[in-house]
Structure 1
């Protein structure tokens, strides 16, 4: 109510002009990008037919007896190559896990001096900026040739960049209480790292490792198409030979194995993180 007893005037509604201009700008960018792609957009009309056709071709091998020749050999080969992909991803993850821990400590502001933090973070940024297939083609193929070792090392180096960054962030977010208690008791710097910091962040770091393993399985399939082994190499051979039935079996094996690994990894991560939270409630 105003001083004269009359109802107060409603404030003016906020202008919708900024939101409208932003929407128009975004729409204009989308249109410009669509034109710049120079794609054959009318070909989208035939997309449903192509989906049906290739789905039929890829699923032809599903309905045959898997224990009869040659289907039995197709399934066996697909699982063998998928096991190679898991091995490449696992070795790459181990390389990244082992080397990312010292990089993570060196990149944490509450652990290392400023000059070391800057150097470590710059190295990690450079590693993350280079895709794994570039590492494989430019640096590793000249050394190892078309060998799965090149793919595993490329995945390992790529994992260092991501895992090192996540490790440093976990260290910077840890509880300061145990660290201050150890320093007050006169513990050495190495003891503080070993007993005050590492136990706090190790469950989270292990969950990062498991997640990176899942990522490396998918990235390893791409590297395999360069000739570095694994299920990606099999896909390259089958698609080039237009062996759609065998490609469908290999695709099904890849999807099933990836889902199983994802579910197992998620369960382990949930258990690790849940146990960590429970222990923190007990302590604090």
Structure 2
């Protein structure tokens, strides 16, 4: 090796040995400290008697024992057979209410999703539609039912179904608009190049790309509405929530345990069926052959 090469190697060696400076940990440390302070402040603001939380395990065991008493009796012998029948009737009312609410939300949210998409509608319409969707999402279904729907329908499951439907519009409309903004521009540009009308572009260029994803959103919202419908039932709007509120008020723990088991079983079955359908739809969409434009 020549002297010149030795000199270049000696000069290059310190450069190779230099390591980049590690990023500063100050922002992360400050973030952790700020998060801890927020948690402490929220905990203090609740002004809760946290010492009573130590009795939660004992209360769970006590009430679980009371509510499990009805589960050990023959479900085909009166009066326990009637308890199971009534629980299933009210639970199916909750399912019907959730289903109607989901249909209402799906029908209304689809056009609103197009109107809220930046690659579909003009800017002024996108702003107005998104503002409306934000307002809807900001108001819980519980408040919608109390303030607007109970005065119109009274204590009727129709009020609960409409509350779930209106609440679904805000979420489904937002998800639909986001799905539309992520579509592939190829089919849309090809249709526009052929002189297709705006409605034809929406129908044949955009909707087929997002429809499987939108249907999966609808199914997931149906699962959410079943649980939300149980809460609305506490207002007296029917469904399993209404039955549970009556049983808890009357301290009929055995019947309440049966109603809870029915709620859990039916909810799990619906969730599993819905999840299977969603995976089926999304899986077919992922593995379907794509046209090249």
Q: Into which bin does the TM-score normalised by the smaller protein fall?
A: over 0.9
Match of 1:98 in 2: 107
Per-residue displacement from partner, 1:21-44 (whole Å, max 9, x unpaired)? 443333333223222211111112
**Where does residue 89 of structure 1 map in the other structure?**
98
Partner of 2:291: 283
Contiguous gaps of at least 5 residues in structure 1:
none
User: Is 1:167–2:176 an aligned residue pair?
Assistant: yes
List per-residue Cα deviations over 1:235-273 (Å, max 9, x = no partner): 110011111111110000000000000000000000101
1:251 alignment counterpart: 260
Question: Relative to 1, partners in 2 of residues 1:18 and 1:96: Cα closer, same or farther, differing over 3 Å?
Answer: closer
The two structures have a TM-score, normalised by structure 2, of: 0.91
Alpha-carbon displacement from aligned partner over 1:27-71 (angstroms, at most 9, x marks no partner): 333223222211111112222211110110111111111011111
2:277 aligned to 244, 249, 268, which one? 268
Q: 1:14 deviation in Å?
A: 5.8
Q: Aligned pair count? A: 283
Secondary structure of 2:179's match? helix
What is the match of residue 138 of structure 2? Answer: 129
Matched, 1:214 2:223: yes
Find the partner of 1:241 among 233, 247, 250. Answer: 250
Per-residue CA deviations over 1:184-217 (Å, capped at 9, x if unaligned) read 1111111111111111111111111000000000
* Partner deviation per Cα, 1:71-106 (whole Å, 9 max, x = no partner): 101000000000000000000000000011110111
Change (3 A) 1:60 1:187: same
Q: Distance in 2 between matches of 1:189 and 1:153?
A: 32
- State yes or no: 1:223 paired with 2:263: no
Give the alignment's TM-score, normalised by structure 1: 0.94
**Is this contact kept in 2: 1:106–1:112, CA < 8 A?**
yes
SS in 2 for 1:69: coil
Aligned CA RMSD, in angstroms, stands at: 1.9
Is contact 1:2-1:8 (8 Å) kept? Answer: no
Inter-partner Cα distance in structure 1 for 2:23 and 2:31: 15
Task: Give the distance between the partners of 1:131 and 1:4, measured in 2 at CA.
Answer: 66
* Unmatched tracts of structure 2, length 5 or more: 1-8
Alignment of 1:133-148 (within 5 A): 133-148=142-157
Are residues 19 and 205 of structure 1, via their aligned partners in 2, closer, same or farther at CA, if it must alter by over 3 Å?
Answer: closer
Counterparts in 2 of 1:173 and 1:240: CA distance versus 1, 3 Å: same
Which residue matches 1:176? 185
Residue 207 of structure 2, aligned match among 173, 198, 201: 198
Q: Is the 8 A contact 1:88 1:148 kept in 2?
A: yes
Matched, 1:74 2:119: no
Give the secondary-structure state (helix, strand or coil) at the position aligned to 1:72: helix
